[in-house]
Structure 1
Amino acid sequence: MKKILLLCLLSLMGCANIQLESNWKNPDHVIFTAYKVLIVGMTNDEEARIAYETKMQREFTKRDIEAMRSIDLFDVDFTAGQRNEDELSQVEQQLLDKDFDAILFTKVISAEDKKRFGEKLAELDDFYGTFRDDYMQHQDIFYNGKRGEELTLYHTETSLYCICVDKERELIWRGVIEITEPLDLKKTIDSYVKLVVQTMEEQDLIFRKKQKE
């Protein structure tokens, strides 16, 4: 019995508590379909960025949807410093030229305590802009964040942007997710990706639930 309890405790250790705090969908899009998606993970932790983008890419691949990781598209210099609106407009045009029709953009913002987290959540609830605006507002996460700090609470946000022609790179969906006690990177990312995929399935956004026969 003691061994069983020990195994249960060990299995729980390192498992983050991941919760969807808020979930907004553009009312103009009951269903949204994309065929080629750019996956962007914005964090100064390179290992986490690679692991997240790779895991999410696999979810698209399993559903026969083409997806590319930002680490394969953006060079090191691009994320090492500040980019202006013209540069980001050029990136969006390049994506259009390469037949991309959506961007799945996830950013990680550390939060030292509940009060600060609540303040950031209230600020972000007022944001409904474009991918370009979102990226410019938070791009210093790549090159100006603290490295090596161990926090027990993280605020994250995943947004789906349409970059289709004549769609103004508009926001289609946004999910705000809180992560507490992220002690194991792989398990945390697996759980995060699973939650995002399930939520997007429920909203009929790119992913579709399998129909029961």
Structure 2
Amino acid sequence: MKSLIKLILSLSIIVLTFNCCTTTQLVEYWKNPEIDSLSLSKVLIIGMTPNLEARDKFEKSLKKELESRNIAAVPSLDIFEPEFRMEGKTEEELQLIENVLTANFYDAVLYTKVIGVEDRKIFSEKYKEKKYLDVKFKEDYYNHREILEDPNYYEKYKIYKAETSLYCICPTKERELIWKGYIDIVDPKSIEETVNDYVNLLVLALEEQQLINKKEI
């Protein structure tokens, strides 16, 4: 029981560490218990989004990070048409793709996709101002009539729920899931900032799980 509590606490600390001061948050992850560490040589990066600018920036940014760790990395946009989708492929088609990748010495695929979008609301920051805090009960109650009619009382934002999976495509095995992480992208404003935050968080998570090496200085 104590070991289980220690494991939960350590995982919580890792998640909190990853989530500081960023537009992205590591919500949950899973690692294949049969794999302690990994040595990758060539990885295909697939970022699935209809926004080609975001996809291009993401794949190139992740490629740069992996190459700085002596891992050959190829963006999917370099070898597939922009309209290419993994979804909807038959087992035979996927096997053919894997055979081509294996023949070209790929040993893994990093596959990222947005799996959902969630709307959130928060109270407007202006209601933390002193004039809204320094009131009596009856004033507070009375003023709520105006507050509830104020369209600026709530601030709306979106959370994009993304999933990244690392698959082994070793020729002697079926597609084997090595690691999967669920990352929330909170109210993205800039493609560049969001991509940088996501890639930095993903790389840090893979380093912590000993699935890629730390960057060489």
TM-score (norm 1): 0.70
Q: State the partner residue of 1:113.
A: 119
Q: Flag the 1:19–1:43 CA change in 2: closer, same or farther, 3 A.
A: same
- For the 8 Å contact 1:16–1:182, the answer to whether it is kept is no
Decide which of 177, 192, 203 is 1:197's aligned counterpart. Answer: 203
- The yes-or-no answer on 1:17 pairing with 2:23 is yes
Matches within 5 A, 1:89-100: 89-100=95-106
Q: Flag the 1:26–1:96 CA change in 2: closer, same or farther, 3 A.
A: same
Using the aligned pairs only, state the percent identity: 44
Q: CA deviation at 1:110?
A: 3.6
Q: State the partner residue of 2:174.
A: 168
Letter in 2 for 1:17: T
Q: State the partner residue of 1:68.
A: 74
1:160-182 C-alpha deviation (Å, 9 max, x unpaired): 00001222110000110011110
Decide which of 181, 189, 197 is 2:187's aligned counterpart. Answer: 181
Aligned counterparts of 2:119 and 2:60: Cα–Cα separation in 1: 30
Higher strand share: 2
Q: CA deviation at 1:79?
A: 3.4
Stretches of structure 2 lacking an aligned partner (at least 5 in a row): 1-20, 121-155
Q: State the partner residue of 1:54.
A: 60
Out of 73-82 and 17-26, give the one that drifted further. Answer: 73-82
Q: CA deviation at 1:207?
A: 2.6
Aligned counterparts of 1:81 and 1:203: Cα–Cα separation in 2: 28
Q: CA deviation at 1:78?
A: 3.3
Letter in 1 for 2:208: E
After superposition, the CA RMSD in angstroms is 2.3
Q: State the partner residue of 1:129.
A: none
Q: Flag the 1:111–1:69 CA change in 2: closer, same or farther, 3 A.
A: same
Aligned counterparts of 1:78 and 1:39: Cα–Cα separation in 2: 13
Q: State the partner residue of 1:104.
A: 110
SS at match of 2:84: helix
Structure (1 or 2) with the larger CA radius of gyration: 2
Q: State the partner residue of 2:10.
A: none
1:27-56 C-alpha deviation (Å, 9 max, x unpaired): 000001110000000111111110100000
- The yes-or-no answer on 1:31 pairing with 2:23 is no
Letter in 1 for 2:30: W
Stretches of structure 1 lacking an aligned partner (at least 5 in a row): 1-14, 115-149
- For the 8 Å contact 1:197–1:207, the answer to whether it is kept is no
SS at match of 1:22: strand
TM-score (norm 2): 0.69
